[in-house]
Amino acid sequence: MPLSRRRFLELSLAASSTAWCTQREAMAADMQPMPEEDPQAMQTAQRGGLYASLHDPNATQLPPEAFMQRFFYSSAPSAAPQGAWTTAPPLPLPRSEMAWATSEGERMHVIGGYGAGQVARPYHHVFDAARGAWRNAAPVPRGANHIGVAALDGVVYAMGGFVEQNRIAVPDCYAYVVADDRWHAIHPLSRGSRGAISVVAHEGMLHAIGGRDTRSVDWHEAYDPQSDSWKTLAPIPGPRDHTAAVSLAGWILVAGGRMDTFDFNTGMHVAYDAKRDA
């Protein structure tokens, strides 16, 4: 039985309360803001000049107060080895709210989002890992932010999204044939318009999970590329959007997300078995 919003919140708050009691002392020690530095040094350290304000094209650097609001904390144990980050070529222009990226072959596809003062851009940038370079690919037919994306068998899929700033959802879905650098429309979302959907390629199907129109939903539907059709599957426990979702070891794993607004975030982690639809 699907979880009601009330029960979902009760479970989330109970889990959060327990975690808070056990983690609070560690957080007090670990949640330290970044040390004060010279503003110019901070911009250099944070690669100043690669930022852009959505509403002010002349603002290209972060304000000093943004650095003072940052802290780093995780209750998870430290991994061994830690690994290391390296600098990679930046996006062709600063942008955000793409929500997700996907990979096909040795290339990463970043689609839609905010950029250059607008919130429903049709951008489609592709990063070639072998060449270490970005290129402009065919733009998605309808620009939007928070588009759900996934790739399967040489095709990149883009589903739903918002055409205003995190609102006014659309049901439109498109398929991009990588070899042809070409998009075409496919059957729209069957349950209705929404953005911030998690889309997962799993066992030959595209699973669209959760998302939001005016409120978060627990909807779960799967798209069959062979028949260009959708079918409704078991809802995710608890309505939510902005979740992390992957196909792993025969399961679809969904973690985190929010309900209706960022005031109600969750740490819930659930697994879906496509063979049992549960």
Domain boundaries, the chain: 5-28+93-272, 32-71
Query: Which amino acid belongs to residue 69?
Result: Q
pLDDT (tens digit per residue) in 157-195? 999 999 999 999 999 999 999 999 999 999 999 999 999
What pTM, to 2 d.p., does this model score?
Answer: 0.83
Predicted local distance difference test score (pLDDT) of residue 171: 98
In the chain, which stretches have pLDDT less than 70? 1-50, 67-73
Angle at 101 between CA 167 and CA 259, to 5 degrees: 40
C-alpha closest to that of 159 among 105, 250, 218, 230: 230
- How many other CB atoms are found less than 10 A from the CB of residue 213? 20
Phi first, then psi: what are they for 251, rounded to 5°?
Answer: -120, 160
- Contacts from 165-173 at CB under 8 Å and sequence distance 24+? 165/114, 165/119, 166/97, 166/195, 167/214, 169/193, 169/194, 169/195, 169/211, 169/212, 169/213, 170/142, 170/144, 170/195, 172/141, 172/142, 172/144, 173/223
Q: Which CATH architecture has domain 5-28+93-272?
A: 6 Propeller (2.120)
